[in-house]
Chains A and B, each alone.
Chain A
C-alpha cells in the first residue's frame, strides 16, 4: 500500500487525533472515560454513562477478530483497485469496539478470523493502523 494517491486521514482532529498519535508510536489506542472506564467509541469528549468530561486514550492489545466483511468487486476510486476486502474488526481487549481495515484481494476470512494490527501504512506522514490475518 505505497500508492501515493491513497487518501490520508485527518490526524489532528480534537476528538480523534489521539488514535493517530498512538499509531505513530506503533500502538493501538481507544478512548476511555477516566472516571467509569467506559470505552468511548467512536471517540467523543463526553461520557454519557457517568456524565464525565474526563476522557483519556489508553493503549490496548492490537489483536481482534473479524466481525463482518465485504469483498468489493466494483471499482469506485482509483486508489483502491478491486477486488479488495473491507473488514470490521472487533478488538479483543474491548468487546464491542470495532475498527475498519482494508485487505488485498479476496482473502479467506470468516466471522471470528483472528487479526492483528500493524503500523506500516504511512500516508502523508500519518500512520494508519491496518489489520492483517493473525497466524494461529
Chain B
C-alpha cells in the first residue's frame, strides 16, 4: 500500500529568531516572533492557522501561543517527544491533522531560553533522593551519570572499541558543521572557525568527547507552517513537499527519559535504524537519492551513528565515512548546512527542519546545487523521527 501521506502535505512557511546566549526576552516572546515569521513566510495570517503542535519539553502550551498570537480558532493541538526526538514527528503530526480534516494549517514551533534559562547541559536536577516512579534514575544518577554528554561519552567509547572509530572522525563532523556555520550569519558560531588542531586542543568533557563534540546551548525559537500541498502552492515562497515522515522506536526499548537506553542490547545501533527502514519505504527512496541532509547533532557521535543507521555507509564505517570528506559541501552527503545544533544553535532540532526547507527552496547560506531531496532527522536515543522533503 502506498503511504497515504506521501506528497500530500508541505511546509509552506518557516521562521526563526536570532540565536543567542542571552535573549533577554521571555520564551513566549521568542515563540511569537518565530511563529509570526513562519506565518508571514507562508503568505498567511493568524486567521489561517487553526492548529498547533509543540515539543513535549517546551515550556509553552498550545493555549499560551494561541492566546499570544490571537488565533481566532484553535481546532487541533498536540505534542511530540521526547525532546530532540520530536521535531520531524511534530511535522508528521501536523500533516496528519491536516489530512484528517482536523485543522487547515498547523503551526509547529519550538522556543527555549536554553542558555540563559534552564540548561540541559547541566544535567539532571539532583536532590537528596533520586529516582522512582518509572524514571529509573535510581540506577544512574547516584553513580554520577548526570548528563546527556556523559551518556554519549559511554556510547562513543563503545563505538570506538567495536569499530576503531577515532577522535579525528568525530572532529570531521564538528568541522563540517562549523564550516557551514561560518557561512551562516545567524549561526552562533558564525565568527569562530574550527580546525583539526583546534578540535584536538579542545577541553575534554567526558572522555572521549571534547568540548567541540557538544552542541551549543541556545536562546531562540523556530517555527514552520504545515498545510496541504495544494494550499502551500498559494504562498509567496516555494513550499517543501513532505515526501514521507516517520516516528520510530526500536526493539527492546527502555522506559525513562534518557539513561535507560544504555540497557538496550546494542549501543551502536539506535532507533534511527528502524526509522530509516520505514522512512525509505514510505518515500519510495533510498540513501542514494538524498542530495543533502540535516542530521540531528546534539553531539558528533549522534551524527556518526545516524550516518550508519540511515544507510549512508555500513555499520561501523561512520567514522571513515565522516573522515572521507563526504559531509562537506562538495561531498556526497553535505550535512547541517546552517551549522546544526553543533554550530548554528540548539533549537532542539527544529532548526534542522527550517534549514531543510531552505535547501529545497534554494535559499541556504550553504546551498547545495540542485538540491531536490533533503533528509531531516531528529534526536536519538530514546526514540526518534525523521522526514524527507522534496521540491514541489
Contact = CB atoms under 8 A, between A and B. Distances in A.
Contact of B129 (A44, A73, A124): A124
Contacts, number: 132
A70 B133 contact: no
A123 B138 CA distance: 12
B332 interface: no
Given A86-B144, A86-B150, A7 B207 contact: no
Interface in A28-83: 41-42, 44, 67-74, 76-77, 79-80
A102 B211 CA distance: 22
Contacts of B122: 76
A79 B126 contact: yes
A71 B206 contact: yes
Interface string B129-148: 11111101111111111110
A88 B267 CA distance: 11
Nearest to B123: A76
A70 B207 CA distance: 5
Interface residues of A, number: 44
A90 to B, nearest CB: 10
Interface in B193-227: 203-209
Contact of A73 (B141, B207, B267): B207
Contact of B126 (A7, A41, A74, A102): A7
B157 interface: yes
B155 A68 contact: yes
Nearest to B145: A86
A130 B129 CA distance: 17
Contacts of B259: 100
Nearest to A43: B136
B132 A13 contact: yes
Contacts of B101: none
A119 interface: no
B142 A7 contact: yes
12 contacts: A7-B126, A16-B131, A42-B255, A68-B155, A70-B150, A70-B206, A71-B153, A72-B150, A76-B147, A79-B144, A101-B143, A128-B142
Interface of A: 6-13, 15-16, 19-20, 41-42, 44, 67-74, 76-77, 79-80, 84, 86, 88, 96-102, 106, 110-111, 123-124, 128, 130
